[in-house]
Amino acid sequence: MIERIETNARMSKIVKHNGIVYLCGQVGEGKTVADQTRDCLCRIDALLEKANASNRTILQAIVWLSDMADFDAMNDVWDAWIPEGHAPARACGEARLASPERLVEIIITATDRP
């Protein structure tokens, strides 16, 4: 069974299937990549909670940065957010995001089973 949460005509914020939780890409507000990453991770926390998951059950993360020069600043926030021993498989790349003020976008796949 597929469960779609917070769905509109274009997309669902959360899709669950067989215990796997797929989140749509999340961006955050703020002037710096650290601010945007922090806000983005707060949004991810809220969506994971709605899906009965958490940052301890993330399987994979895909991080897009508008500029790879921001890699260390994004990682400082990320590393403080991921619990010790629960690091997911992760990829990070540079991409032109939807608008120039966007500095980071994160896509998460998790499980709702500990």
Q: What is the pLDDT of residues 73-101, one digit of tens each?
A: 999 999 999 999 999 999 999 999 999 99
CATH level 3 topology of 2-111: 60s Ribosomal Protein L30; Chain: A; (3.30.1330)
pLDDT tens-digit readout, 9-43: 999 999 999 999 999 999 999 999 999 999 999 99
Report phi then psi at 8, rounded to 5: -130, -170
Long-range contacts of 90-93 (CB under 8 A, 24+ apart): 90/60, 90/61, 90/62, 90/63, 91/61, 91/62, 91/63, 92/62, 92/63, 92/64, 92/65, 93/62, 93/63, 93/64, 93/65, 93/68
Q: What is the pLDDT of residue 114?
A: 83
Average pLDDT over residues 99-104: 97
Half-sphere exposure of 96 (CA within 13 A, CB side): 2
pLDDT tens-digit readout, 34-63: 999 999 999 999 999 999 999 999 999 999
Q: How confident is the model at residue 7 (pLDDT cuts 50, 70, 90)?
A: very high
Q: What is the pLDDT of residue 102?
A: 98
pTM higher than 0.85:
yes
